[in-house]
């Protein structure tokens, strides 16, 4: 039992003994004592004045005296107005540390057969280009969110919807056909997604040149766009694809195959994975059927041009197009189809979509439509809406090839980590294999932590140089502290010291040590809060605070040189549990921590 719960029980017993009143636990308000006052936890006594019929100060005095006499966990108290500040005895803190120490997965709750199933969709790439910095934020948030939701006792299915059809895909295909000379990933030595992305850029370059030529002959921009033979060919290819043309379909399958192979390499390097992948080319027809079914039931209506719409004015929104007059789908149709397939595959209790904030309206509408169509989780679907990520130089554009590529970014982070670590002498004496692995862990840790420590709802600027700093609120700073603790624990083990399964409680602790135990024990509540708020940044910033506090402790107190044997074992156990919580917390965010550094 944690200290708060123990105190709540004692306060309830005290109120019964002092005033003959039974008080429910939710009326007992305990909070951390403010830094400027003595004590660890503060009890708000105002709710009990009616029963004590005394002043706030007298009531607090009486309750404080009762607790010191009857609750061993309370060693002292002081009263500031209507607030009772309680000092927790060292023995109670050590008992709390023993609780954390006994649980290898402290703060993590496992799912059971009755746990709700939460499906989380993230990544959602297009197959006409490689993953870029925007996808990196999406993937890291989605992966961390899945880990956090799972750690809160839910069953989790991680899913991806691949946008593998549409005009953008046809642009890459057409450009490869016209200018590719049969180039393949094997013949060029390029990753497949990069190769296909190059042709998407090539299409745009040739298209712009064609428009410039037509406009030089006196056409307006609109006239030139209408007269473009290149765009007409791309549209024609899309129509053929929709009709199942064999030649177009086999080209599409070949080029998409290249892309998937490239994506898989990127996902592996990033450390993200999926339990189930859906493809828009499979889901859009299912969505179309579902919309037509809704039309038959009178949920939707048809216009004269044959297009199908939903009237959402009753929900305070507008009319929403679901099928074009020619019967082709829009994104909303595809999302309805994907929902249908997912609902067939899994008994989903909650659906979370990790998609940028430019799609807020889309998901507001999707939630209403899915509810109208009878999907139980439709009404409560969660759009985990996140802000854009940019570089210090500003925005990125795929068509112009000015996008920060995910693969290049990860490579750059790893090589920067290697250079920085070498300069600081952190790789001295390690084999090539070990130093390469540490550079990978630190480089990717720097990237992931920098992105995940920011509140997901906010737009952010990713600064590679800042993220790799070994000081401050960064991944490498946290990883270095973890490695430092491992070094202390190794030295202790080498000198034959064994940390007992349970620490004796007769050791006098300093305020710093008590505060550190409190912070370590907070991890369980932090994981819960991050799950309730869908917020990975809560865990990231908690880990930083914990590591910062530990470093001050490490600086001010000796561990292995401590002469008092009981205190030495306590400090080693405290260090080991700080490291454990850092490792568990970083793993929830999708990050590794190195044993040496």
Element (H, E) at 309: strand 308-311
CA dihedral 556, 561, 562, 564 (to 10 degrees): 180
Residues of the chain with CATH 1.10.730.10: 406-588
d(CA 281, CA 81): 67
Residue among 595, 267, 213, 244 nearest 438 (CA): 595
Where do we find the tokens 């402290």?
Answer: 106
Residues 6+ apart with CB under 8 A from 353: 121, 363, 381, 382, 383, 384
The runs of H, that is alpha helices, within 102-191 are 133-151, 167-179, 185-188
Assign 340 to helix, strand or coil.
Answer: helix
Residue among 84, 20, 76 nearest 53 (CA): 20
- Name the maximum alpha-carbon separation found in the chain: 97
| pLDDT, position 24 | 94
Beta bridge partners of 302: 308
Where do we find the tokens 């400027």?
Answer: 36
Residue among 245, 258, 249 nearest 199 (CA): 258
Where do we find the tokens 């809160």?
Answer: 152
350 phi/psi in degrees, rounded to 5: -145, 140
Beta strand residue intervals within 455-541, DSSP E:
460-461
Asked if 105 contacts 588 with a C-beta cutoff of 8 angstroms, the reply is no
May I ask the CATH class of domain 117-206+260-390?
A: alpha beta
Residues of the chain with CATH 3.40.50.620: 117-206+260-390
Residue among 147, 140, 138 nearest 118 (CA): 147
Residues 6+ apart with CB under 8 A from 545: 519
Q: What is the pLDDT along the chain (597 residues), one digit of tens a residue?
A: 578 888 999 999 999 999 999 999 999 999 989 989 999 999 999 999 999 999 999 999 999 999 999 999 999 999 998 899 999 999 999 999 999 999 999 999 999 999 999 999 999 999 998 999 989 999 999 999 999 999 999 999 999 999 998 899 999 999 999 999 999 999 999 999 999 999 999 999 999 999 999 999 999 999 999 999 999 999 999 999 989 999 999 999 999 999 999 999 999 999 999 999 999 999 988 999 999 999 999 999 999 999 999 999 999 999 999 998 887 778 899 999 999 999 999 999 999 999 999 999 999 999 999 999 999 888 889 999 999 988 777 554 444 445 688 999 999 999 999 998 888 888 888 899 999 999 999 999 999 999 999 999 999 998 888 898 888 899 999 999 999 999 999 999 999 999 999 999 999 999 999 999 999 999 999 999 999 999 999 999 999 999 999 999 999 999 999 999 999 999 999 999 999 999 999 999 999 999 988
3-state secondary structure 388-407: CEEECCECCCCCCCCCCEHH
Residue 221 in tokens: 């921009």
Q: Does domain 406-588 have CATH number 3.40.50.300?
A: no
Residues of the chain with CATH 3.30.1360.70: 3-88
d(CA 64, CA 84): 7
Give, as one character, the DSSP assignment of residue 126: B
Residues 6+ apart with CB under 8 A from 53: none
Where do we find the tokens 């009178």?
Answer: 298
Beta bridge partners of 85: 42, 78
Assign 281 to helix, strand or coil.
Answer: helix
May I ask the CATH class of domain 3-88?
A: alpha beta
């Amino acid at each position: 039992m944690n200290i708060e719960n123990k105190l709540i029980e004692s306060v309830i017993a005290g109120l019964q003994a002092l005033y003959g009143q039974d008080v429910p636990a939710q009326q007992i308000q305990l909070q951390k004592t403010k830094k400027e006052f003595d004590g660890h936890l503060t009890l708000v006594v105002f709710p009990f004045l009616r029963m004590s019929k005394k002043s706030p100060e007298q009531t607090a005095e009486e309750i404080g005296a009762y607790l010191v006499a009857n609750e061993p966990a309370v060693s002292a108290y002081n009263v500031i107005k209507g607030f009772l500040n309680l000092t927790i005895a060292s023995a109670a803190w050590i008992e709390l540390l023993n609780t954390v120490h006994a649980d290898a997965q402290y703060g993590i709750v496992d799912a059971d057969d009755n746990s709700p199933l939460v499906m989380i969709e993230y990544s959602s790439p297009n197959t006409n280009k490689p993953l870029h910095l925007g996808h990196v934020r999406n993937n890291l948030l989605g992966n961390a969110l899945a880990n956090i939701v799972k750690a809160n006792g839910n069953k989790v299915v991680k899913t991806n919807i691949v946008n593998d059809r549409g005009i953008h895909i046809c642009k890459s295909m057409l450009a490869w056909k016209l200018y590719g000379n049969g180039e393949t990933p094997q013949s060029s030595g390029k990753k497949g997604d990069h190769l296909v992305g190059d042709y998407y850029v090539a299409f745009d370059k040739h298209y712009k040149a064609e428009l410039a030529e037509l406009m030089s002959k006196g056409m307006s921009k609109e006239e030139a766009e209408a007269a473009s033979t290149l765009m007409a060919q791309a549209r024609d290819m899309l129509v053929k694809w929709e009709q199942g043309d064999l030649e177009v379909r086999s080209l599409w399958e070949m080029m998409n195959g290249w892309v998937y192979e490239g994506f898989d390499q990127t996902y592996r390097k990033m450390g993200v994975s999926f339990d189930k992948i859906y493809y828009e080319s499979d889901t859009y027809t299912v969505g179309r059927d579902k919309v037509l079914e809704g039309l038959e039931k009178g949920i939707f209506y048809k216009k004269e041009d044959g297009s199908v719409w939903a009237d959402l004015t009753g929900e305070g929104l507008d009319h929403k197009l679901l099928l074009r007059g020619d019967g082709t789908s829009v994104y909303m149709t595809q999302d309805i189809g994907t929902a249908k397939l997912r609902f067939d595959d899994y008994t989903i209790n909650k659906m979370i979509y990790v998609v940028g904030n430019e799609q807020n309206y889309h998901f507001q509408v999707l939630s209403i439509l899915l509810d109208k169509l009878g999907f139980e989780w439709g009404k409560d679907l969660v759009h985990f809406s996140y802000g854009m990520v940019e570089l210090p130089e500003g925005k990125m554009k795929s068509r112009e090839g000015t996008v920060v590529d995910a693969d290049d970014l990860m490579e750059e982070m790893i090589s920067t980590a290697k250079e920085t670590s070498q300069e600081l002498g952190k790789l001295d004496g390690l084999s090539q294999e070990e130093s390469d692995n540490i550079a990978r862990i630190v480089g990717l840790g720097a990237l992931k932590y920098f992105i995940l420590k920011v509140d997901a709802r906010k737009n952010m600027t990713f600064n590679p140089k800042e993220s790799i700093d070994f000081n401050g609120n960064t991944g490498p700073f946290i990883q270095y502290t973890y490695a430092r603790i491992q070094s202390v624990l190794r030295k202790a083990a080498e000198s034959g010291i064994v940390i007992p399964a349970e620490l004796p409680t007769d050791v006098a602790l300093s305020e710093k040590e008590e505060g550190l135990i409190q912070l370590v024990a907070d991890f369980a509540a932090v994981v819960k809060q991050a799950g309730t708020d869908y917020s990975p940044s809560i865990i990231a910033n908690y880990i930083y605070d914990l590591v910062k506090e530990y470093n001050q402790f490490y600086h001010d107190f000796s561990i292995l040189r401590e002469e008092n044997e009981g205190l030495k074992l306590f400090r080693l156990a405290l260090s080991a549990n700080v490291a454990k919580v850092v490792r568990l917390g970083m793993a929830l965010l999708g990050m590794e921590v190195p044993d040496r550094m």
